[in-house]
Amino acid sequence: MRKRTVTPSDIGDIVRATRKDVGLRQHELAGAAGVGLRFIVDLEAGKPTAQIGKVLQVLAALGCSVEIVPPPEADATAPASVRDT
């Protein structure tokens, strides 16, 4: 399932739905991802200040991947140092 996310709440919704789909409880996901239970609770609630590294750990533990798609015009307007990386 692909889902466009634009808010921390969207990410929380995806984490919660995926966790339930795979049959994990919050504390089980926390253990699998190497984060605390409080982090999972906050992430699923859409906490806007969640640490990106930990968010990625949780998503990886769920088998999710992240894709960032720049706007089409970004390639033409980005500085060369950004385009070439």
Higher-confidence residue of 1 and 16: namely: 16
Tokens of 68: 């960032």
Assign residue 16 the CATH number of its domain.
1.10.260.40
Task: Identify the domain containing residue 9 by its residue range.
Answer: 1-85
The model's pTM is 0.80
- Mean pLDDT, residues 14-29: 98
> How many domains does one find in the chain?
1
Q: Residue 56: which H helix or E strand, with range?
A: helix 52-61
33-80 per-position pLDDT tens digit: 999 999 999 999 999 999 999 999 999 999 999 998 888 886 666 666
Q: What are phi and psi of 30, to 5 degrees?
A: -60, -45
